Amino acid sequence: MGYLTLSRRPGEKLHLTVAKDADIEALVQSLLTDGITIMCGEVGGGRVRLAIQAPAELKVLRAELLQEDSAASA
């Protein structure tokens, strides 16, 4: 299980997707047994701090990085 902490402002998004080289069976088993945990941490200054615990095969990206990645691929 990987662990990521990041801050988000109102309206900002996260994108969860499966890594290209992921072992799908292992991912499904991990999701069935452990799931995904999202914890809200510090709140202030127009931001919330989120801690996300998910299987390593699951990519967690800030939406703006996903958009940059798509633009670079085009």
pLDDT in tens, 37-65: 999 999 999 999 999 999 989 988 888 88
Dihedral sign computed on CA atoms, order 58, 63, 64, 67: positive
**Secondary-structure class of domain 2-73 per CATH:** mainly beta
Domains of the chain, residue spans: 2-73
Per-residue pLDDT at 73 exceeds 70: no
Average pLDDT over residues 5-27: 92
Q: What is the pTM of this model?
A: 0.75
What's the chain's average pLDDT? 88
Per-residue pLDDT at 68 exceeds 90: no
